[in-house]
Amino acid sequence: MRTPGLLSIFLTVVIDLLGFGIVLPLLPLYADRYGASELVIGLLFTSFSAMQFVAAPLWGRWSDRVGRRPAILVGLCGSLLSYLLFAWAAHAESLAGLFASRLTAGVFGGTIATAYAYIADVTPPKERGRGMALIGMAFGIGFTLGPALGGLGHALHPAAPGLLAAAFSAGALAYALRRLPEPARHVPAERTHWLDLGALRAALGAPGIARILLLTFVTVACFALMESTLSLLAQRAHAFDQTQVGLLFSWLGFWSALTQGVLVRRWLKRVGEPRMAAAGTLVLGLGLWGLSWAPGVGWLAVLSPLAVLGFGMTLPSLNGLLSQRSGAGVQGGVLGVSQSIQSLARIAGPLVGLPLFGRAAGLPFEVGAGAMGLALLLALGLGRAPAAPAPAPTAAGTGTR
């Protein structure tokens, strides 16, 4: 992490995602306590992804215009606000407050796309996949430490986890204000309409972009399918209690951080993004297939990290390829579209996986493994990335800021 700005963006995202890890596991418990049905709890979760789907391309394109640093700072302010709303909702026992918190978090959570674009700005093309893995490592750290901190805070007061998450976001904001530089490589886009659809259409029409986005959707949907059903599998098939389920997810968070922070960053430069993506889809598919028949706790502990390993190999590789194949002036917008597609996938995965689980515990994992088999065929056709296209020309004086 010797590249200027790379350590700063990594630490900024890690500190902020600690708050995300603190709050997320408590959402269903609080909503259930406030009288929400399973359908309403599902809507509470999808509200975040729905807002992120809308906001992510706008944040990415705006960051192309005004700079990465301002967009990230505004996003951190939004995260701070969402956690304060969560703390208030916990204190007032308000289901509406929980929805307000998640909607706010979804709108400002689209700035993760800006963090990806920031990494693309400060790393050379051959290093971008390894750089993108840092965001995955940050998620892993957040989901390893965050749930434990949230549980400790809840023992003090229901509002304490929200306040603790807000404190982490405030810390990330303070750190970014002092330590996060604007990327030297970032060249602001022309002063056109803040959402330049023509430039985005040109970038999305570049060779291989559609394949990468489709592969991203399938991969994230299958992983989200696993995330939404794994706790039920552990409880019903292996008699896990809530503490053991929490430990299982902390175990997965550890493997996520290890995979993307150490393994992928060391291997990716040697094997390249296309091969790493293909290998990752294969490993994720094998992990899902194994979970469909895992006979005991030991197998569950081994096979669930295998799925995490595959996912951690695939997504950074795809993001790296995406940044290589899109022009410098529209990278933020294209990566924002990718984030929106990932948000849709995180909605689709649970909507498919949970009904399948109701029919048979192993069925969602079998379906996910089959889908990853098709994804492997897509990944094998990625090939070598062509040169990034130039941004689409825009007539002078078109649009306003």
Instruction: Map out the domains of the chain with their CATH numbers.
Output: 6-179+198-380 (1.20.1250.20)
Residue 335 binned pLDDT confidence (cut-offs 50, 70, 90): low
What pLDDT does 99 receive? 95
Over the chain, what is the mean pLDDT? 79
What pLDDT does 110 receive? 63
What pLDDT does 365 receive? 93
3-state helix, strand, coil in the chain (%, to 5): 80, 0, 20
Average pLDDT over residues 160-181: 90
Select from 307, 278, 310 the least CA-distant residue to 294: 307
Residue type, position 332, single letter: G
Tens digits of per-residue pLDDT, 263-302? 877 787 788 888 999 999 999 999 999 998 887 888 888 8
Tens digits of per-residue pLDDT, 186-233? 555 444 444 445 545 655 666 678 888 899 999 999 998 888 778 778
What pLDDT does 4 receive? 54
pLDDT over threshold 70, residue 356: yes
Q: Lowest-pLDDT range, 47-56, 149-158, 381-390? A: 381-390
* Separation CA 136–CA 141 (nearest Å): 9
Under 8 Å CB-to-CB from 275, ≥6 apart: which residues? none
Evaluate whether 254 touches 140 at the Cβ level (below 8 Å): yes
* Separation CA 352–CA 226 (nearest Å): 11
Tokens at residue 83, please?
A: 């956690």
Average pLDDT over residues 15-34: 79
Select from 54, 376, 364, 329 the least CA-distant residue to 214: 376
Tens digits of per-residue pLDDT, 74-129? 989 999 999 999 999 999 999 999 999 999 998 887 667 788 778 878 877 777 66
